[in-house]
Amino acid sequence: MDNKYIISLVSYLNTKPFLYGLENAAIKEKLDLQLDIPSVGGKKILNGSVDIGLVPVAVLAKLDDARIITDYCIGADGPVKSVSIFSEQPIDKIEKVFLDYHSLTSVQLVKILLREYWQVNPIQIAAETGYIDQIKGTTAGLVIGDRALALNKKFAYVYDLSEAWKQMTGLPFVFAAWITRKTIPEGIIFEINEALKFGVQHIDLVAKNYTHPNFSIAEVQDYLQNDISYNLDNTKRRALDLFISKVRSNTNIEVE
């Protein structure tokens, strides 16, 4: 097939069930899979350079023509372990916080939680490569993805954003969803959804096929099965609507 559907897929451990499903489905021959960090995938949807993306849901606050096309997402109902603020000091002592350049959605979530949940106002700094080494004293940092998993035992204070959102709202959180701004045939959408379902249903095989240098197979399987929640059910959709409304109502929040 010459004209493939271009898909941006987040390149983190928590997306491996989706990647496994797509790579082991017949529809793989119809797809051009591109692995990106979340912020890059989000920008590709915004600029129209991909057909479909598993991208940060914060982009929905900027788009009127986007739609979610599958029953699956990257979500969590409580602690997620891979999206946290790390600090040597408690949250009320933090004077500065670095905002992870990998992120779009988590940066918006930090801004909401700092204001509405923790009710603190540290200086917020757009992070650059190497910023994790600057997390010390009263300077904290938002870190997402596999790097966050590796930091969970290295700092005195770890504030899990999904857990904080759950405590504030009583709802789960959706970090990324399958979004398009283009007209995609329903048959293609069905095949993609079935491929994602296959991957989510075979996490034991995913953990064995996508080994990680910092985590054992058992640790990967536990994270994917117990910390990430993949089904985009009605409760998660309500949570997503609430989050997007908060992003849109806050004039201090920008989605690039």
Residue 240 has pLDDT above 80, yes or no: yes
Strand, coil or helix: what is 157? strand
Question: Token pair 């079935």 is at which residue?
Answer: 194
- The residue range of the domain holding 52 is 5-74+172-249
Residue 19 included in any domain = yes
- pTM here is 0.92
Name the domain count of the chain.
Answer: 2
Residue 245 included in any domain = yes
Q: How confident is the model at residue 30, as a pLDDT?
A: 95
Residue 253 has pLDDT above 50, yes or no: no
Residue 192 included in any domain = yes
CB of 83 closer than 8 Å to CB of 160 = yes
Residues 204 and 97 in one domain: no
Residues 187 and 62 in one domain: yes
Residues 144 and 188 in one domain: no
pLDDT in tens, 10-34: 888 999 999 999 999 999 999 999 9
- What's 117's domain CATH number? 3.40.190.10
Residues 49 and 87 in one domain: no
Q: End of a domain among 125, 154, 169?
A: 169
Question: Token pair 């048959």 is at which residue?
Answer: 187
Extract the tokens encoding 186.
């329903």
Residues 156 and 202 in one domain: no
User: In a 10 Å sphere around its CB, with 0-12 CB exposed, 13-18 middle and 19+ buried, how is residue 24 labelled?
Assistant: middle
| Complete DSSP assignment for 31-86 | EEEEEE-HHHHHHHHHHT--SEEEEEGGGGGT-SS-EEEEEEEEEESS--SSEEEE
